[in-house]
Amino acid sequence: MSADTDNPQGSCALSLSFVDEHTAARLAEIFKALSDPTRVRLIAALCAGERCVHELAEQLEMSQSAISHQLRTLRQLRLVRSHKEGRHVYYALDDDHVLTLFAQGMDHVQHI
Amino acid sequence: MSADTDNPQGSCALSLSFVDEHTAARLAEIFKALSDPTRVRLIAALCAGERCVHELAEQLEMSQSAISHQLRTLRQLRLVRSHKEGRHVYYALDDDHVLTLFAQGMDHVQHI
DNA sequence: ATGATGTTTGAACATATATTCATGAATATT
DNA sequence: AATATTCATGAATATATGTTCAAACATCAT
């Protein structure tokens, strides 16, 4: 069996198999953002629309500080964006890409 | 602004926003599997077809032990499957779901 | 059998991570 | 002004994770 020509996964597989270390690191970073249950629940909550920090803290029944720390992680990785309205800081999914990625993960979980 | 009726993300968002803790944990687990650069590179390598451990170790220029440890993580999360042929253990992506999830991540990275 | 090859496993260590608590900054209310 | 609310930040701690090394296991060849 020749491993080099063996390609059971389809035509797009070839380009995916050439992932340089930098890209691999960035990919890992994105997935790492979603590798924590709290952050998963935050993303899920934001699928329904934007929310401010204390709303998210209530919904997840966690301290405001903990939520803020996690939102910071999500913010740094551009998975969410925020804007201020008075005292409140509203968070929302950065774009539909995040939702698609998240939904794909859900698919996988439900598929197993 | 009524947060409950605000839904700028589309119709599928509602169901995604109701993610119980167990599902969140499983989702996080899946994403965690892809949250390490080595594992990302492994998945990428396997996109081209099945490979045995020492081939992957050569390609990634890492010790066989390190590769084996990471493959175990991926195996436990059903992202890869393996079968033995003589002394060799061949690994492959478990199904197309993995490839789709991975490709979606690539999309996101290249989109930012 | 003996030795060589391919893979897995366990233990130990260093690093990374999430969480909590305390504090500070900005805004709103009285 | 004084106070309360909302959020961000830093430090400390406990836990989790990746890596390395050594040893064990399985398979094959001689």
CA A110 – CA A91 distance, rounded (Å): 27
pLDDT over 60 (residue B20): yes
CA A109 – CA B22 distance, rounded (Å): 11
Q: What is the mean pLDDT of residues B9-33?
A: 77
Binary contact (A34, B27; C-beta < 8 A): yes
Structural domain tally of chain B?
A: 1
Determine the straight-line distance between the first and last CA of chain A, rounded to whole angstroms.
Answer: 29
Mean pLDDT across chain A, nearest whole number?
A: 85
Q: Is residue B10 part of a domain?
A: no
Q: Is residue A97 part of a domain?
A: yes
Q: Which of A38, A49, A51 sits opposite B9 (nearest CB)?
A: A49
Question: How far is it between the farthest Cα atoms of chain A?
Answer: 65
CA A56 – CA A67 distance, rounded (Å): 7
Best probe of the B interface among A80, A99, A108, A111, by most B CBs < 10 A, is: A108
User: What is the distance in angstroms between the Cα of A66 and the nearest Cα belonging to chain B?
Assistant: 17
Q: Which of B34, B48, B109 sits opposite A23 (nearest CB)?
A: B109
Binary contact (A31, B31; C-beta < 8 A): yes
pLDDT over 90 (residue A53): yes
Q: Residues A53, B41: contact at Cβ < 8 Å?
A: no
pLDDT over 60 (residue A3): no
Binary contact (B17, A51; C-beta < 8 A): no
Task: Indicate the residue type of A48.
Answer: A
pLDDT tens digits for range A88-105 = 999 999 988 888 889 888
H-run or E-run covering B85: strand B80-85
pLDDT over 70 (residue A9): no
Please tell me the total number of residues recorded for chain B in this structure: 112
Binary contact (B48, A96; C-beta < 8 A): no
Give me the CATH number covering residue B48: 1.10.10.10
Domain limits for position A52: 21-111
Q: Is residue B23 part of a domain?
A: yes
Q: How many CB pairs under 8 A join A and B?
A: 190
Q: Is residue B102 part of a domain?
A: yes
**Could you tell me the distance in Å between the CA of residue A35 and the C1' of nucleotide D19?**
20
Predicted confidence at residue B112, as pLDDT, reads 56
Q: Would you give the distance in Å from CA B11 to the centre of its chain? A: 26
Q: Is residue A75 part of a domain?
A: yes
- Helices and strands in chain A, H and E counts: 6, 3
- Label residues B18-52 b or e (16+ Cβ within 10 Å = b): ebeeebbebbbebbbbbbbbbbbbbbbbbbbbbbb
pLDDT tens digits for range B49-99 = 999 999 999 999 999 999 999 999 999 988 999 999 999 999 999 988 888
Q: Is residue B12 part of a domain?
A: no
Hey, what are A28's tokens? Answer: 């890992």
Nearest partner of A106 among B111, B103, B10, B18, judged by Cα:
B18
Q: What is the mean pLDDT of residues A50-60?
A: 94
User: Reduced to 3 states, what is the DSSP secondary structure of residue B96?
Assistant: helix
Q: Is residue A88 part of a domain?
A: yes
Q: Is residue A69 part of a domain?
A: yes
Q: Residues B104, A101: contact at Cβ < 8 Å?
A: yes
Instruction: Compute the C-alpha angle B66/A32/A23, nearest 5°.
Output: 70
Nearest CA in chain B to A29: B35
